[in-house]
Structure 1
Amino acid sequence: MAFKTILTVTGVDNSDSDLQTAADLCGQSGAHLSVLVVAMAPPPPIGEYATVSTIWLEQRDRDREKLEASVNHARETVSRTDVSFEIDGVYAEAGTADRDIGDRALYADLVLIGPSVLSQADLKRQVINGSLFQAMRPIMLIPTDSKPSLGPKTVLLAWDSRAEAAHAAREALELMAKAASVHVTLVDPEAARGESGEEPGADVAAYLARHGVNVTVDQLPSAGRPVASVLQQHAVDISADMIVMGAYGHSRVRELIFGGVTKSMLDDAAIPILMAR
């Protein structure tokens, strides 16, 4: 699908480079940039002597002032670009940032997670949970020193014939149709009528080809290596600009639990990854 509204989430201390990267990607696609600056409130005092202390209240006041200053700074930064934009801030109570982010992500086609957020475990978890699980929107991880683009030349589509992978492929259809090549990549596929088909990868390749995608099917053995490592190495081997993949896991009591491959890709991304569930 076309990405007409792109959301990027930042913390109050995030660098301007995340905002500039988001603005550049919006400029590439003519998209509207939505920015949400998140400050997470300290939890209230608990325990035997728990009271609403003056120190705790003063800290909250300082946090709100810092959030306002960060929103104003972000607005000044993005206003120097040529993209249309809107910038808001939210002071999220303990454990609720994912809901606030999810509410905003409902009105975006894609959520960007830049290097600054990727380096903050708590905020990263909240953004992923709110975007993927609550709003059901695709995310794009942008690792440090990577070169993100919404017009990649070579794409690796991680494929396992599951609904999550199919959803990711549909979200990235327009992007893949414009790429020079798309490698549908299967690791240790098994030919089975009810799963991968008698020729693993053939069905999705035909589907993508009907959308004008220049597609190649790569069937790879794991040889005892983790699947994530095989995918990451193959991305290097084919000089991929982006990996497209499904996200596997579930949300329970606002805690994010991912399967092994998804978690490894989230933790060790080297090139931009577009992920959907």
Structure 2
Amino acid sequence: MSFKTILTVTEPGMSDDDLQLAAGLCEEVSAHLAVLVVALAAPPPVGEFAAIVSEDWLKERQADEKLLKKRTAVVSAFFAGRALSADTVSAYPEADWADETIGRRARYADITIVGPEVLAGETLKSKVVEGALFSSGKPLLLIPKGSRPTLKPKCVLVGWDTRLESSRAVRESLDMLIGADEVHLALVDPIEGETHHGAEPGADAAAYLARHGVKVTVDRLPSANHSVADVLRQHAVDCGAELLVMGAYGHSRLRERIFGGVTKSMLEGPSLPTLLAR
């Protein structure tokens, strides 16, 4: 799909670097930039000490709200002199519900951008990722530090595993795949058979993409005792990919957190811009 509205998230204390990056991507594809400024609120005190600490909690909340208002004003001023179409809104949810707040906002965008500064953190990063992936139905683009992101990539690597999440990721990135000079459909240790990759692994997915005009090549890769994430990272380097497209959380979030998984590994250390969808 084409990207007409792009969402990015920032918070008090952050620089404008992620905003600058998101603005550049919007200018590249003539998209509107929606900015959500978030401050994560501490939950209200409860129990027998509530009366004692409530005054301090109220003072902390008032200070947070002042910082949120100041950051929102700074962001608005950042776009004031630009020709870019943009809007800025703020939110002050409790930390436990911040992913839902971000996800609701992400429903009104085509994709959510997570820049290097958000990726370098932990709390806001997890809220943005989970909110976008689980509460919006829209894709997410991770942009690691030092990368050169583009929404018009010439070479794209698609991590394909036949799951619904992979299919969604391909559909969400289809316009970019059509515009690319080369698309590598990577299958790691593919299993033949009707319930897996079919008699010729990757053939059905490649045929689907080819009918859309995608210049696709199927790459069947052995893991050779390496993780799937590491195999995809290395193959992205080998083929000069500017973007990795893959499905997210093919297993439950709990299983990924306990046992690990491709999504978890990519979130911890993306080596190139990565589009995730589920």
Residues 157-215 of structure 1, C-alpha deviation per residue, up to 9 Å, x if partnerless? Answer: 00011110010000000011101100000000111122201110111111001111110
Residues 29-67 of structure 1, C-alpha deviation per residue, up to 9 Å, x if partnerless? Answer: 111110001000123335542325222111110100100
State the partner residue of 2:18.
Answer: 18
State the partner residue of 2:39.
Answer: 39
Single out whichever of 121-130 and 74-83 deviates more from structure 2: 74-83
Secondary structure in 1 matching 2:96: coil
Secondary structure in 2 matching 1:149: coil
Work out the CA distance in 2 between the residues paired with 1:269 and 1:153: 19
Root mean square deviation of aligned Cα:
1.7
Secondary structure in 2 matching 1:217: strand
Is it true that 1:151 corresponds to 2:182 in the alignment?
no
Secondary structure in 1 matching 2:246: strand
Q: Which amino acid aligns with 1:267?
A: E
Work out the CA distance in 2 between the residues paired with 1:35 and 1:257: 33
Larger helix share, 1 or 2? 2
Q: Which amino acid aligns with 2:24?
A: D
Unpaired runs of 5+ in structure 1?
none
Larger strand share, 1 or 2? 1
Is it true that 1:127 corresponds to 2:128 in the alignment?
yes
Residues 3-44 of structure 1, C-alpha deviation per residue, up to 9 Å, x if partnerless? Answer: 111100112122211001111101111111100010001233
Work out the CA distance in 2 between the residues paired with 1:83 and 1:259: 40
**Pair 96,257 (structure 1): closer, same or farther in 2 beyond 3 Å:** farther
State the partner residue of 2:182.
Answer: 181
Superposition deviation, residue 217 in structure 1: 0.5
Work out the CA distance in 1 between the residues paired with 2:260 and 2:152: 29
Asked if the contact 2:257–2:264 (Cα under 8 Å) also holds between the matched residues in 1, the reply is no
Q: Which amino acid aligns with 1:60?
A: R
Residues 251-270 of structure 1, C-alpha deviation per residue, up to 9 Å, x if partnerless? Answer: 68xx9889511100111101
Superposition deviation, residue 80 in structure 1: 3.2
Asked if the contact 2:185–2:202 (Cα under 8 Å) also holds between the matched residues in 1, the reply is yes
Work out the CA distance in 1 between the residues paired with 2:41 and 2:133: 23
Work out the CA distance in 2 between the residues paired with 1:121 and 1:38: 14
What does 1:103-122 correspond to in 2, within 5 Å? 103-122=104-123
Superposition deviation, residue 136 in structure 1: 1.5
State the partner residue of 1:216.
Answer: 217
Secondary structure in 2 matching 1:92: coil
State the partner residue of 2:30.
Answer: 30
Secondary structure in 2 matching 1:40: coil
Secondary structure in 2 matching 1:82: coil
* Off by >4 Å, runs of 4+ in structure 1: 255-259
Asked if the contact 1:5–1:33 (Cα under 8 Å) also holds between the matched residues in 2, the reply is yes
Single out whichever of 156-165 and 87-96 deviates more from structure 2: 87-96
What does 1:1-277 correspond to in 2, within 5 Å? 1-46=1-46, 48-51=48-51, 52-248=53-249, 249-250=251-252, 260-277=261-278
Asked if the contact 1:129–1:251 (Cα under 8 Å) also holds between the matched residues in 2, the reply is no
Asked if the contact 1:23–1:81 (Cα under 8 Å) also holds between the matched residues in 2, the reply is no
Residues 125-180 of structure 1, C-alpha deviation per residue, up to 9 Å, x if partnerless? Answer: 11111111011110000111111100011100000111100100000000111011
Work out the CA distance in 1 between the residues paired with 2:257 and 2:133: 10
Q: TM-score, normalization: structure 1?
A: 0.95
